[in-house]
Amino acid sequence: MRFAFGKIPPEILEKIVFKHLGVKRKEVAVGPSLGVDCAVIDVGESSIVVSTDPITGALERIGWLAVNINANDIATFGVHPSFFASCMLLPEKTSEKTIENLCAQMDEAAKKLEISIIGGHCEITPGLTHPIIVGCIVGITKRGHYVTSRGAEPGNKLILTKTVGIEGTAILANDMEAQLRGKVDNELLSNAKSFFESISVVKEALLAFETGGVTAMHDPTEGGVAGGIHELADASNVGVKIFEEKLPVAEETLEICRFFQIDPLQLISSGALLIATKKQYAAKILEKLRKNGIKASIIGETLDNPKKRILVRKDGFETELVRPRSDHLWLALGKRA
C-alpha cells in the first residue's frame, strides 16, 4: 500500500499504531485515539495536557507555525499552552542566518502566547531539502478541568471561527508567490500572505471554553475543515450535517484555490476552530467571540448516526461530506515551477 502525503489513514492508526503503545499507566487519563490531538496525564491535583506536531509543508514562517500549531492543540482542550520544546531538522548547507531566523520566529510566537521554550534539539540531517520542525507542547490545568474532541453529543451546534483554509492560503501565497504573481490580484495576494497572523486559535478556544456549554473542540489542520469535521465526528462517534452556504471562505482562499484547482474544504486550516456546543449556549459563544473581534459562524449540527456525514449544498442537494485522502496543500505544492 502506498500512502499519500500527510497524515496516515485512520484505519492504519487503529490497525497498527494504536496497538503498539508500551505499558499502560494509571496516570494517563486521555491516550491516543482517532481525532484526539493531545494526551492528558493526571498528576496530583493537576492535569498535564501534552501534544506534538511537525511543520513539514511550509518554507516561510515555519518557526512561527511550529509554536502556534502546537499551541492550538492544547487550547482546544480549553487549556493555556505554557511550555514548548522543538526538534529542528535542517538540510545540509544550512546557514547560521537560517538557524537564527527560525529561532527568532519561535521566540516571537512564544512571547506573544506567553509560552516558555524549555529545550529541544537541533541537527543537520542528511537527505532533507528544507527544514522540518517538530514541536512538543505542554499545558497544565486543574485536574479534570478540560474538554476533548470526544465529547460532542447528538444535537450539538457546530461553530467554525474565522474562515476555511487559513494556513494553506498563507503557505501558498508565500511559498508559491512566483506562480501566483500576475495570476491573482496583487492586493489579494498581499492580503493572503498575511494570513499567518491569524494562525492562532488560543484566544477563541479559551473564550469559548470559559463561556460554557462546549462539549468538544478541534482545530482542522491537515485535511482542512472537511478533515477536521470528520476527526471530531470520529472521536465523538456522532454524525454531522454541514451547510455549504454557512461555511466562511475568504476571497483570497477562493482565488488561490481556483488557480491551483484544489478544494478549499480540503486545504489545511490551522487558524480556524471547530466548536461543538450545546444548542442553548451557541448564541452566547458567538456573542462572546464577536465581542472579542473573532468572526464565527454556525456551520451545522451533530447527528445520532455516526455514519451520516452530510454536506448540504447551496442548492439544497445533500451529498456525502468528503473525507480527504490527502491535504490539497500537497497537490498545490506539487506544482512548484
What is the per-residue pLDDT across 178-192, written as a single tens digit (0 to 9) for each?
999 999 999 999 999
CATH code assigned at 23: 3.30.1330.10
Calpha distance 313→109 (Å, rounded): 38
CATH code assigned at 185: 3.90.650.10
149, part of any domain = no
pLDDT tens string 267-306? 999 999 999 999 999 999 999 999 999 999 999 999 999 9
Q: Give the domain-ending residue among 117, 142, 167.
A: 142
**Whether 65 contacts 145, CB under 8 Å:** no
Question: What average pLDDT is seen over the chain?
Answer: 96
Do 136 and 169 belong together in one domain?
no
1, part of any domain = no
CB atoms within 10 A of CB 85: 17
pLDDT of residue 337: 58
82, part of any domain = yes
Calpha distance 312→320 (Å, rounded): 9
Question: Any idea which residue has 524549555 for its cell?
Answer: 118
Alpha helices in the chain (DSSP H): 10-15, 62-75, 96-112, 166-175, 177-180, 186-193, 202-211, 224-236, 251-260, 282-291, 328-333
pLDDT of residue 232: 97
Residue 58 pLDDT class (50, 70, 90 cuts)? confident
Q: Give the domain-ending residue among 92, 115, 142.
A: 142
For residue 329, which amino acid is it? L
Q: How much of the chain, in percent, has pLDDT values that exceed 90?
A: 93
Number of domains forming the structure of the chain: 2
Do 177 and 284 belong together in one domain?
yes
Residue 184 domain boundaries: 157-333
Query: Residue 57 pLDDT > 70, yes or no?
Result: yes
Do 112 and 179 belong together in one domain?
no
Do 192 and 221 belong together in one domain?
yes
Judged by average pLDDT, the poorest of 6-15, 41-50, 71-80 is: 6-15
pLDDT of residue 272: 98
pLDDT of residue 252: 98
pLDDT of residue 126: 96
3, part of any domain = no
pLDDT of residue 220: 95
pLDDT of residue 316: 94
Do 211 and 326 belong together in one domain?
yes
Choose among 125, 182, 160: nearest CA to 271.
160
Exposure string of 32-46, with b = 16+ CB inside 10 Å and e = fewer, is: eebbbbbebbeeeee
pLDDT of residue 8: 87
pLDDT tens string 81-136? 999 999 999 999 999 999 999 999 999 999 999 999 999 999 999 999 999 999 99
| SS3 at position 258 | helix
Do 119 and 265 belong together in one domain?
no
Residue 210 pLDDT class (50, 70, 90 cuts)? very high
Do 192 and 167 belong together in one domain?
yes
178, part of any domain = yes
Residue 208 pLDDT class (50, 70, 90 cuts)? very high
